[in-house]
Chain A
């Protein structure tokens, strides 16, 4: 049985949000690490316990952990549990950055296809950034 409950708050996981449920968990944990709320060496909940907390299947959490382990962001120690890797924050940031570049590339391509020139594109990017900052201030 679980000895001590480890709490990890990553916000609700929902089929209404973008991406598969396991991917949402992967993204949220990366964000927690990238924003320094989850530090290297921190123990993560067991996947059965985390499944209970998030109200998703055990397989979903297991898959999310496997994905994070593959990217070197977390690691498993037999019998001890799962932990945030040393430099897991860097790797998390790298992975996020790679994803962001890919999304931006796609966005720019769409915009180019819609007939925007580079200046208009840069202007659009600035507009989006400003709007985002406003949201964050709420």
Chain B
């Protein structure tokens, strides 16, 4: 059996003012995968296309080994998508929305639904229009999770949620992948949450993939470097090194330990070189900045 839940290969989508791709992304089965990138990087475009919203100009998307367009119905039965644009107000009350969505999915899990209603403090009688923003997000998550989908795709699910709700959401996502078969793909700007809860990360910027891999390995690979230089060497435009700022002779940079930047610095007059671990946020800021040069 295929060990990848989602395989995106050479995906390209052209818009008048923006091109996504060519993008390759691999989401392993059983993982929580975080898709990150600055606003406008193409995250939502990529996620929408997995679900057949917008037709790709070239490339392939395979979901659980199935072609996302040729096997569209099967894909949609087995994968669920939670988007910030979902609107359940037409059903009036929470209970009615649940009964409606439930009817479409043979695999609907009533016990899971009941547990989640309790955990998320939702009640069948609640009027959807009066729910807070966070409660509406929880409702759409509940509707997706209760289907027990093999793949759950979430676009910015934690935007506007308080810290407690965010933790609840991630606790549910960890539960969802507990059997090692189900997979979660999540796009978010909550980088400290993603660093803690995701197994894999993909970062896109300007429609291109900058990085992809195990979250821990990616974070381990980079260091924040601080050093002095008085010999006038310019450290700009060196592979494996992103200069973050400079105050006179003191330099701050992001250093890729998979490159030779470390020894190169030492042989080019950098002194008092010190390295510190990065957070995913440090990495994100540095890499987002680099491309802008």
Contacts and interface: CB of A to CB of B under 8 A. Distances in A.
Interface class of chain A by DSSP:
helix
B217 to A, nearest CB: 9
Contacts of A48: 174, 177-180
Interface string A59-73: 110010000000000
Q: How large is the interface on A (under 10, 10 to 19, 20 to 34, 35 or more residues)?
A: 10 to 19
A56 B29 CA distance: 18
A21 to B, nearest CB: 7
B24 interface: no
Contact of B277 (A1, A20, A22, A56): A20
Contacts of A63: 216
B205 to A, nearest CB: 23
Nearest to B197: A57
Contacts of A58: 30-32, 174, 177, 199
Interface string B179-191: 1100000000000
Given A55-B170, A58-B31, A63-B216, A21 B196 contact: yes
A16 to B, nearest CB: 10
Contacts, number: 53
A117 B196 CA distance: 44
Among B174, B179, B214, B279, the most chain A Cβ lie within 10 Å of the Cβ of B174
Contacts of A49: 178
B169 to A, nearest CB: 11
Interface of A: 1-2, 15, 20-22, 48-49, 51-52, 55-60, 63
> Considering the complex of A and B, which 8 residue pairs feature the smallest CB-CB distances, nearest first?
A59-B199, A52-B174, A48-B178, A57-B199, A57-B197, A58-B199, A51-B174, A57-B198
Interface of B: 30-32, 167, 170-171, 174-175, 177-180, 192, 195-200, 214-216, 220, 277, 279
Given A52-B175, A55-B167, A56-B197, 13 more contacts: A1-B178, A1-B179, A2-B178, A15-B279, A20-B277, A49-B178, A51-B174, A57-B174, A57-B197, A57-B215, A60-B196, A60-B216, A63-B216
